[in-house]
Homo-oligomer: A and B are copies of this chain.
Amino acid sequence: MIQPATPGMPLAQVDTPALLIDLDAFERNLRRMAHFAAKAGVRLRAHAKTHKSPDIAARQLALGAVGVCCQKVSEAEVMVEGGIGDVLISNEVAGTPKLDRLAGLARRATVGVCVDDPANVAELEAAAARVGAKLDVLVEIDVGARRCGAAPGEPAARLAELVARSGHLRFAGLQAYHGAAQHVREAAERRALIARAVELVQETRRALAAVGLEAGLVTGAGTGTYENEAASGVYNELQCGSYIFMDADYGRNRRADGSAFADYEHALFVYATVMSLPVPERAVVDAGLKALSVDSGMPLPWQLPGAAYHRPSDEHGVLDLAGGTARLARGEKVLLVPGHCDPTVNLHDWYVGVRGLGTDGARVELVWPVAARGAVF
């Protein structure tokens, strides 16, 4: 796998398309969320599906995160292999091969997983029993996202009872993530959605109490809503991921005062080269659908006033410069803010960490593998 840069290299020499981290902005983002969680008195369990990097996870843990979330067993394996000792798979796991790998992993690290189905509880118990492992199990409840999750209240409490009665499982709490609320643009609407989620968690806690159980952990929240969950008095763990990079789509959220959600800085970029310039208003760059995920909208050209990225194809993107004053030369390199950070990261094999981005002295400080890229199993 071609590595686009080596430490010490001036930014302009980085080969493209490369996935750049603005280390200064990234570190400010890390610290800001760590301070928030500490001040709010909630745990931060950062979501590693965003970065897929034990190197980044280690930085999050060093600032106080209790561990990471993963979405797949294979992603969790990469984290444990990379030295992360506490991993929650914030998702359901189906199928014997994956269940066996999950149970094996639980012998090497503190591993949790979610359930929303009684038969899945039995499968988890059997897998853990086969290798003599002990698994933390959270009951996932659907707090409004209409994706996975048991119905809140009694159905969830019945699942928790099944877990608690299983010899190799430990009922650890509730997974109550409202994914659909994260990108709702208006702060008041996000607040209302999380208020409803909190009600559903409370209803479930009452049902748990009625059967003599307690939800130790109530975990959820993302970069779009975490202030609401943290203020709820009910959630005690946050699963934010995107705050480290802050993509273009999160930049379209608004705060309560109507201003742009800019609590975190854009710290992830795709660095691209103008490889064709047929007319001055149209610069074709070498980063298309295989370097940038466009599921949540097009990338934003960075500091190119009036420029718009459009018409991506596999390996091309077209920068329309007609609406602005920016002009580019063939061979010139540009920065693009990805529309959606997680699936964009997953397209790349390397992070190129740059110190002093935006200054003449911008220089590569580190190169990290995207170690769990492609870990979909």
Residues of A at the B interface (CB closer than 8 Å) are 1-2, 4, 15-17, 49, 71-72, 74, 91-95, 97-98, 116-117, 119-120, 142, 146-151, 179, 273-278, 282, 284, 286-287, 289-291, 293-295, 311-316, 318, 330-331, 340, 342-343, 346-349, 373-377
- How far is A282 from B116 in the complex, measured between Cα atoms in Å? 13
B17 touches A376 (CB 8 A): yes
Instruction: Given A289-B342, A290-B346, A348-B374, verify A273-B312 contact (CB < 8 Å).
Output: no
Chain B residue nearest to A315 in the complex (CB): B71
Please name all residues of chain B whose beta carbon is closer than 8 Å to the beta carbon of A294 when the two chains form the complex.
295
Which of the listed residues A119, A342, A343, A349 has the most CB atoms from chain B within 10 Å of its own CB? A343
Instruction: Given A315-B71, A349-B374, verify A98-B15 contact (CB < 8 Å).
Output: yes
Please name all residues of chain B whose beta carbon is closer than 8 Å to the beta carbon of A346 when the two chains form the complex.
290, 347
B313 touches A148 (CB 8 A): no
A147 touches B74 (CB 8 A): no
- How far is A330 from B118 in the complex, measured between Cα atoms in Å? 11
Instruction: Looking at the assembled complex, report how far the CB atom of A174 sits from the nearest CB atom of chain B, in whole angstroms.
Output: 15
Instruction: Given A276-B148, A314-B342, verify A286-B15 contact (CB < 8 Å).
Output: no
Please name all residues of chain B whose beta carbon is closer than 8 Å to the beta carbon of A150 when the two chains form the complex.
278
Please name all residues of chain B whose beta carbon is closer than 8 Å to the beta carbon of A293 when the two chains form the complex.
289, 293
Please name all residues of chain B whose beta carbon is closer than 8 Å to the beta carbon of A17 when the two chains form the complex.
376-377
A149 touches B278 (CB 8 A): yes
Instruction: Looking at the assembled complex, report how far the CB atom of A272 sits from the nearest CB atom of chain B, in whole angstroms.
Output: 10
- How far is A314 from B93 in the complex, measured between Cα atoms in Å? 15
Which of the listed residues A49, A72, A277, A286 has the most CB atoms from chain B within 10 Å of its own CB? A286
Instruction: Looking at the assembled complex, report how far the CB atom of A154 sits from the nearest CB atom of chain B, in whole angstroms.
Output: 15
A290 touches B4 (CB 8 A): no
Number of identical protomers: 2
Instruction: Given A120-B330, A314-B49, A377-B4, verify A95-B16 contact (CB < 8 Å).
Output: yes
B374 touches A1 (CB 8 A): yes
Instruction: Looking at the assembled complex, report how far the CB atom of A216 sits from the nearest CB atom of chain B, in whole angstroms.
Output: 23
- How far is A373 from B370 in the complex, measured between Cα atoms in Å? 14
A278 touches B142 (CB 8 A): yes
A289 touches B343 (CB 8 A): yes
Please name all residues of chain B whose beta carbon is closer than 8 Å to the beta carbon of A179 when the two chains form the complex.
313
Instruction: Given A150-B278, A282-B146, verify A312-B330 contact (CB < 8 Å).
Output: no
Please name all residues of chain B whose beta carbon is closer than 8 Å to the beta carbon of A290 when the two chains form the complex.
342-343, 346, 374, 376
B95 touches A331 (CB 8 A): yes
Please name all residues of chain B whose beta carbon is closer than 8 Å to the beta carbon of A311 when the two chains form the complex.
147
Q: Can you sample 29 A-B contacts with CB below 8 Å?
A: A1-B374, A2-B74, A2-B377, A15-B377, A16-B377, A71-B314, A71-B315, A72-B286, A91-B316, A94-B275, A94-B276, A94-B286, A142-B278, A147-B284, A147-B313, A148-B275, A148-B276, A150-B278, A179-B313, A289-B295, A290-B342, A290-B343, A290-B346, A290-B374, A294-B295, A295-B295, A346-B347, A347-B347, A349-B374
Which 9 A-B pairs give the minimum distances between C-beta atoms?
A148-B276, A94-B275, A71-B315, A289-B343, A2-B377, A92-B275, A92-B276, A290-B346, A314-B342
B147 touches A330 (CB 8 A): no
Please name all residues of chain B whose beta carbon is closer than 8 Å to the beta carbon of A4 when the two chains form the complex.
377
